[in-house]
Amino acid sequence: LNFVRFYLPLLIQKHEKVIYLDDDTIVQGDIQELYDTKLAPGHAAAFSDDCDLPSTHEMIRSVGMQNTYMGFLDYRKQAVRDLGISPSTCSFNPGVIVANMTEWKRQRITKQLEKWMQRNVEENLYSSTLGGGVATSPMLIVFHGKYSTINPMWHIRHLGWSPDTRYSEHFLQEAKLLHWNGRYKPWDYPSVHTDLWENWFIPDPSGKFKITRPDS
């Protein structure tokens, strides 16, 4: 399901503008504001830059997280160097996307993403750290220099990167959307800011899915 976002035009055919959210997010604001994100002419999508919030910078420094292309692409490979993208270029996080389906189809974005996935299979182009999983790297290539930006408060991320690093409670209350990207998910243990996530947790009526806590 990491690759569902590659195929948005195949899944949603009646709407020109689409929001994609990872399943480890919660929305605290009016999502109409996110939907109203302006996409520049010729842009198929809008993302959040990984260098856009001072609080994000602090989080990244504290846990040694990558927020540049160097963390996702293997610059020892000629095919990566041939892209002409500086390894210090700020990356973006595709866990929250506002997309224009007309432009997506016109630019054949899905085909481009598939091409870079296939090239990775053949040439192993992605960084061994895989900071954002294998779905992020091809998006960084295909959308480089060709995307609009989302209001930073609509994508507060890295909550799942470390079980020891927290944002301030005031900052999180102001946030419009929270994203537990990383391995420490809010339904598991250890994790951070689980109280915010549990406000929206609906128990599984079948009883198969249960949240994991120290006393469970």
- The tens digit of pLDDT for each residue in 116-132 reads 999 999 999 998 665 55
71 in a structural domain:
yes
pTM: predicted TM-score of the whole model, two decimal places = 0.91
Q: Which residues pair with 45 in a beta bridge?
A: 99
Give the pLDDT band of residue 57 (cuts 50, 70, 90). low
141 in a structural domain:
yes
Give the pLDDT band of residue 67 (cuts 50, 70, 90). confident
Task: State how far the Cα of 216 lies from the Cα of 212, in Å rounded to an integer.
Answer: 6
User: Per the structure, how many domains does the chain have?
Assistant: 1
For residue range 179-201, list pLDDT tens digits in order: 999 889 999 999 999 999 999 98
177 in a structural domain:
no
Tokens 């939907």 found at = 35
Distances (CA, A) of 137 to 70, 131, 155, 157, 212: 10, 9, 19, 18, 31
36 in a structural domain:
yes
Question: CB count, 10 Å around CB of 179?
Answer: 22
H or E segment at 25?
strand 25-27
Percent of the chain past pLDDT 90, that is, above it, reads 75
126, two tokens: 């992605």
195 in a structural domain:
no
18 in a structural domain:
yes
34, two tokens: 């996110």
Q: Please report, as a single letter, which amino acid is at residue 194.
A: T
The whole-number average pLDDT for the span 12-23 is 95
Would the pLDDT of 147 be above 60? yes
For residue range 148-170, list pLDDT tens digits in order: 999 999 999 889 988 988 888 99
Tokens 């993208």 found at = 85
Find the domain containing 89 and state its range.
4-152
211 in a structural domain:
no
Mean pLDDT of the chain: 90
CATH code for the domain of 125: 3.90.550.10
Give the pLDDT band of residue 17 (cuts 50, 70, 90). very high
53 in a structural domain:
yes
Would the pLDDT of 64 be above 60? no
Q: How many residues does the chain have?
A: 216
50, two tokens: 């990984």
